[in-house]
Structure 1
Amino acid sequence: MLITSRDTGRWVLPKGWPEAKELLCEAAAREAGEEAGLRGTVSHHEAGRYFYAKALASGEEVPCEVLVFPLRVDKIADRWKEKRSRIRKWVSPAEAARMVNEPDLGQIIAYFCADPHQFS
């Protein structure tokens, strides 16, 4: 599943920052719930990482590293925290890899989908 970013509307995966002493994979699962209404079991093994330029309110761009953790989706909510500010869409892995703006993220999606069981 891809979601739109709130600022530019580009297609992305749910992502965010860990809170308190939260493990990075747990933060990924929480963000999937908040941003896309997804619940399930998150892998403790990252599928990959990529960088993108995050635009700050000041207009300045800073590089951000994103670690991607697969989530086996068990529940899809009809209502969730950011429903009004995002669109979510189920697409094939090949389509998802083409839809994202970041080439490295597209490669991670393709790599993951070639053998998703390696992250179980």
Structure 2
Amino acid sequence: MKRGNDFRSRNHPAYWAFLVHRISGLVLGLFLPVHFWALSRAIHGQAALDGFLKLTDNALFKFSEWGVVVLLSLHMMGGIRLLLIEFGGQPGLRKNWIAGAGGFGIAVGLAFALALIG
């Protein structure tokens, strides 16, 4: 008997870890061209770089920067979690690693937010 698309599986923490890992990877992949473009401003001279840096000194860019740091930490911990599942051989620790990855992402985000404020 085929179960089909069972919505009960979406309540499992592993599904949410999967979703966060995939979405964070996509957003980080979309961020990279923008980041490389911003770095290329330095090639076009000091005036171009200074103009871009002046633009980035507002709350929207600071919030976006914070979001990228949080997504990067969540994606990194999700990748480490997957490596531990693949090579660790301890299936009972999967939910603990999901909670640890989420906690690490939140801690990094809070630390970065404090650095932005202070």
* TM-score class normalised by the smaller sequence: under 0.3
Structure exhibiting the larger radius of gyration computed from Cα positions = 2
- TM-score, normalised to structure 1's length? 0.27
From the two aligned structures, give the one with the greater strand fraction.
1
Name the structure where helix makes up a greater proportion of residues: 2
* TM-score relative to the length of structure 2: 0.28
